[in-house]
């Protein structure tokens, strides 16, 4: 994926990816962690544009996972039904809800990123 046009905000972030599968020696540890957390936290970049929130894993994570195509997602803002953040150790967690799924991101200054996402969702939905 390439960087989206009209970026409102960009963050280095980790996304909780249920489909992530670490390869090699990390595979066993990753499988245990995935079962406990509902996925693996994968590092990369999150871009917010007027139309969507996009996450893409960084090159290192794509290299160490057996299914790198599963390490990216795009959420059209018109499909977002809720945005919440919660405190966590080191970096806070943002949860972006759609009718089908809850996407989780963790990043520095999560509160302000969540506010930017909420504002972009409101603008995209015309409210």
- Domains, the chain: 9-125 (2.30.29.30)
Structure-token pair, residue 53: 């929130």
- pLDDT tens digits, one per residue of 64-98: 888 888 999 999 999 999 999 999 988 999 999 99
* Residue 20 banded pLDDT, cuts 50, 70, 90: confident
3-state secondary structure of 75: strand
- Per the listing, tokens 């066993």 go with 28
Radius of gyration of the chain measured on its C-alpha atoms: 14
**pTM of the model as a whole:** 0.86
């Amino acid at each position: 994926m390439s960087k989206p046009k009209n970026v409102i905000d960009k963050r280095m972030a980790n996304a909780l990816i249920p489909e992530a599968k670490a390869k090699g020696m990390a595979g066993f540890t990753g499988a245990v962690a995935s079962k406990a957390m509902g996925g693996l936290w994968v590092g990369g970049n999150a871009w917010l544009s007027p139309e969507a929130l996009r996450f893409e894993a960084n090159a290192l994570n794509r290299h160490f996972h057996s299914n790198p195509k599963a390490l990216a997602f795009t959420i059209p803002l018109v499909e977002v039904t809720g945005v919440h953040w919660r405190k966590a150790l080191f970096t806070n967690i943002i949860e972006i809800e759609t009718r089908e799924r809850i996407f989780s991101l963790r990043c520095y200054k999560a509160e302000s990123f969540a506010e930017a996402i909420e504002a972009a969702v409101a603008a995209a939905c015309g409210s």
